[in-house]
Structure 1
């Protein structure tokens, strides 16, 4: 049976990967509303132009014949914004825009609306060995995470009184070929061969590769038990920052000295330099329990963390040659 899937956020890291993955599934067609119509996608993907995502966006023309919507579009962090106006800016796209989309999906009688949320809806940090679960009480702490949580709640309420099914997926930090931001910067540091003071970090963090989160999304497209559920997703293997760096060095094929400087000292120094948020990501723990995925969906990550890191490093090294 053929399926027609709409994927938003196709210009983003995850959205683009989801489009590429759905493209490989037999009898599946993909429609991608895009703000940049010139982005490179397989020729058979139907590209349509959408200028903005807010409470006035008209999605009607993009929903013809669609069976499933995967909503990966979102407003994410932008540097140096006015904090007073920040929450309302996030709400405009992530809450009002998402609900505008969902209501039109409902009118078009689309069966299922899958939204990519964020693990930070659960909170910012976990106690060592006590991972977040999908059924924990949420504790979002900043404007972006609050907006994602509000969108989740509005969607679940909409699903209570309609035939449309909602699936919420909260990923941890996603890495994979083409990853940018802090993960790419880490690979740059490690590829220099210079000594780095991260040899004694004892935290535990969950990560998820593009391949694994895409596989969960594919599972949630038509699994009957996914309806109106929240799922966390990771590679199913937690590592310290030190262990992550060691594995990356192995795949990079070089040598980097990771000096065993006590993590507590590094945290104190980072805070003195006004880098507390970076310190939290490097030295704090954030673990998730994905047992619900296995128990409810029969899903577990098909790729190991080393598989994901290897493909990430290969693309990173190739990009440096260009």
Structure 2
């Protein structure tokens, strides 16, 4: 039996669908009562997981306080630590005590840092360099989990994905799809950055592999589609999936960065113009895993769901 926390979220929903399709027994957890889900209430350092953990051999922990653009907490780091470190360790310690053999923790590439330089993608062996409270909390959770694993013998697997996209994706990726649908000219043809992405179907496939693959035990993995894209390539791919042609103008990236800085959008420009690449060579070598979906397939499925939702909402 696999316990899935965060089962109602974007990745959690996709993971539960994937598990059900494969006929793998799992118990999805939600904070509130919902048909087919185990209601756990608020997840914090004092949450009682005893009933949820009955018969569970593996925990996949997706529930987290996620990176937010408009932070409201007075002390963001304390808020992230409470949700992502203290609550995670509480669950893991109870899982180990109940006899669970493995704990799969979905972390974030933000543990490695916010950007990469050309030709130097992040690897799992790099020295962590988290730069925001979310990334710091994920790194601290990883360390605490591996320490607990050494203490209890429960196997730990940490997975650090980059931006995840797929049917139902929101935030920045949904904004890109809306821009592509509008067909307006965008000044991004000259941007030659490289960013790693992971289609949600690829991520769930790798998570499931990590629930049972012995070679994955007590390791940290980076995961992606292994097909890095520039922002211009990504927009062309999205537009192509929509049956459109992207209208991109060749404006020097430096000018775009300056304009964004003047407008107070420097961080947004970094995400749009900067590079963040992952080297998943070790992931492939150790586990034998290959992404089952190409980026083109992932974009097609993502765009199709986006367009269908758009039709239903009109």
Q: What's the TM-score bracket when you normalise by the shorter of the two chains?
A: over 0.9
For residue 23 of structure 1, the aligned residue among 20, 23, 26 is 20
- Give TM-score scaled by structure 2 length: 0.97
- Using the size of structure 1 for normalisation, the TM-score is 0.94
Equivalent in the alignment of 1:103? 93
Distance in 1 separating the partners of 2:57 and 2:34:
25
Residue deviations 1:235-268, cap 9 Å, x none?
Answer: 0011110111111111111233111111111011
- Show CA shifts across 1:35-70 (max 9, x none): 24337xxxxxx4111221111100010000011100
1: distance between equivalents of 2:22 and 2:262? 51
CA distance in 2, matches of 1:160, 1:212: 29
Task: Give the aligned partner of residue 6 of structure 1.
Answer: 3
Q: 1:291 aligns with which of 270, 281, 303?
A: 281
Q: Are residue 248 (structure 1) and residue 238 (structure 2) matched?
A: yes
Alignment correspondent of 1:268: 258
SS at 1:222 equivalent: coil
Is 1:181 aligned with 2:178? no
Which of 174-183 and 46-55 deviates more? Answer: 46-55
Partner of 1:77: 67
8 A Cα contact 1:34 1:50, kept in partner: yes
- CA distance in structure 2 between the partners assigned to 1:20 and 1:157 by the alignment: 32
Preserved CA contact (<8 Å) 2:225 2:294: yes
Matches of 1:105 and 1:88 in 2, distance apart? Answer: 24
CA distance in 2, matches of 1:35, 1:308: 30
What is the SS of the residue equivalent to 2:38? strand
- Mapped to 1, the partners of 2:247 and 2:71 lie a distance apart of 37
Residue of structure 2 in register with 1:35 after alignment: 31
Say which of 302, 307, 314 aligns to 1:317.
307
| Structure 2 CA distance for aligned equivalents of residues 269 and 128 of structure 1 | 23
1:236 and 1:143 mapped to 2: Cα distance? 27
Residues 34 and 48 in structure 1, CA contact (< 8 A), matched pair in contact too: yes
3-state secondary structure, aligned to 2:128:
coil
Q: Are the aligned partners of 2:235 and 2:246 in contact in 1 as well (CA < 8 Å)?
A: no
Deviation at 1:77, TM superposition (A): 3.1
SS at match of 2:291: coil
Q: Give 1:43's aligned residue.
A: none
1:307 match? 297
Map Cα deviations across residues 124-176 of structure 1 (whole Å, 9 max, x no partner).
00001210001110000011110010000000011112220000000010000
- Residues 281-301 of structure 1 deviation map (CA, whole Å, 9 limit, x = unaligned): 110000000011111111111
Q: Conserved in 1, the CA contact under 8 Å of 2:236 and 2:245?
A: no
Which of 311-320 and 75-84 deviates more? Answer: 75-84
The alpha carbon displacement at 1:303 in A equals: 1.1
Determine the C-alpha separation between the residues in 1 that align with 2:56 and 2:268.
41
Which runs of 5 or more structure 1 residues have no equivalent in the other structure? 40-45
Determine helix, strand or coil for the equivalent of 1:166. Answer: strand
- CA 1:66–1:87 in structure 2 vs 1: closer, same or farther (change >3 Å)? same
